[in-house]
Amino acid sequence: MKKTKIVRITTVPISLEKLLTGQLTYMSQFYEVIAISSEKENLDKFGESNEIPTFYLNLTRKITPFHDLYAIFRLVVFLRKIKPEIVHTHTPKAGMVGMIASKLAGVPHRLHTVAGLPLMETVGVKRKILNLVEKLTYVCATKVYPNSKGLEKFILENDFASKGKIKIIGNGSSNGIDTTFFAPEQISEEETLKLKARLHIAKDDFVFIFVGRLVKDKGINELITAFTNLNLSKTKLLLVGPLESDLDPLLPETLTEIEENINIISVGYQSDVRSYFKLANVLVFPSYREGFPNVVMQAGAMELPAIVSNINGCNEIIEGGKNGLIIPVKNSKAVEEAMRKVYQEKSLLDQLKSNARQMIVSRYEQKIIWEAIRNEYENLEDV
């Protein structure tokens, strides 16, 4: 029996690799799956390692009208050639290009997952342009999947799409989490002690961890200010993620503090973050905006409570006082007070930790999310 052809599109291949880890391989058991993204070399590596056919499309993450028009033209030609039944896009630029092109190419089912909106932190003329682009994306889509209740509310309040076109799959999240992979027992105590020694972290140090891009929108300026003002003995702040200075740079004084404070350890991008979670005590994630953050789920699955800002996604994964603390956004004092609280109140920390993993396993196990997406595909085919 011939398999239904599905095209999955992201702006950059790392989104296929990290945000959708394992999902395309799972779907390829039931469908003919083709992955489309930019960065040809990285896309080719993804395709080879996952045994998924790929098509290179030169997409940018900035506002580039002429570049985008050419990408739409190339994608229309490709889609008309292969005639897929479903095109499913992720990330804003891939969504715009993918949805417009698939509508022009006559693809019957055009699906777009919303996993965060950069326009939330944009103002002025740029915000108006991004609003228009977002509306155009949703007009061309036949179905829109926000991956959190907060995003669904934002989309409806801004009149980007009608209620009938929107659906949250499962409890939220674009990919769920593999709770057998993200599990404390996967990392040995010996491995943890070796990593601590390599990073010059004492056995009894209290470690706050942040995992993600080191950019303004992730609340890094507030986090560094909070940790510096905290000024507690035997504490470390571990930063795991790449510094991105082109799109959303940090303040100069933040960069200086990261470089000069001996209690702040920055290790850059890591392909496997489990060992870093294992040596930490608390995740601190004061982001300005999110869709449904994988990092918070990963930390929870590794039995780590989280301090998160009160934004969509974060405030759905974390229940204040149960598996973490929720703080106001863009507030370094609130970050500092929450960090001090979990450091000083051991009984609270133990309580949060005891609930952390169970609350992730019961709601966001990866296979459940994959099956829900597959069911969505099958229901479309029956229409």
List Cβ neighbours of 59 (8 Å cut-off, separation of 6 or more).
Answer: 11, 12, 37, 38, 68, 71, 93, 94, 97
- HSE at residue 95, side-chain half, CA atoms within 13 A, is 25
Instruction: Report pLDDT for 383.
Output: 58
Alpha helices in 59-188 (DSSP H): 65-82, 92-104, 124-140, 149-157
Instruction: Tell me the C-alpha distance between 148 and 315, whole Å.
Output: 10
Domains of the chain in sequence order: 5-176+366-382 (3.40.50.2000), 184-364 (3.40.50.2000)
Phi then psi for residue 114, to 5 deg, are -105, 115
Divide the 383 residues of the chain into consecutive groups of 10 and give the mean pLDDT of each group.
92 91 95 97 96 96 90 98 97 95 98 83 82 92 91 90 91 87 96 96 96 96 97 95 87 96 96 96 95 92 98 92 97 98 97 97 90 92 64
Distances (CA, A) of 280 to 28, 65, 101, 192, 199: 36, 44, 45, 10, 12
Taking each helix axis as running N to C, give the angle between helix 346-364 and helix 332-344, from 0 to 180 degrees, rounded to the nearest 10: 110
Instruction: Report pLDDT for 382.
Output: 66
Chain centre distance of CA 365: 16
Regarding beta strands 86-90 and 5-9, do their DSSP bridges make them parallel or antiparallel, or are they unpaired?
parallel
Angle at 298 between CA 98 and CA 273, to 5 degrees: 95
List Cβ neighbours of 327 (8 Å cut-off, separation of 6 or more).
Answer: 286, 307, 308, 309, 310, 334, 335, 337, 338
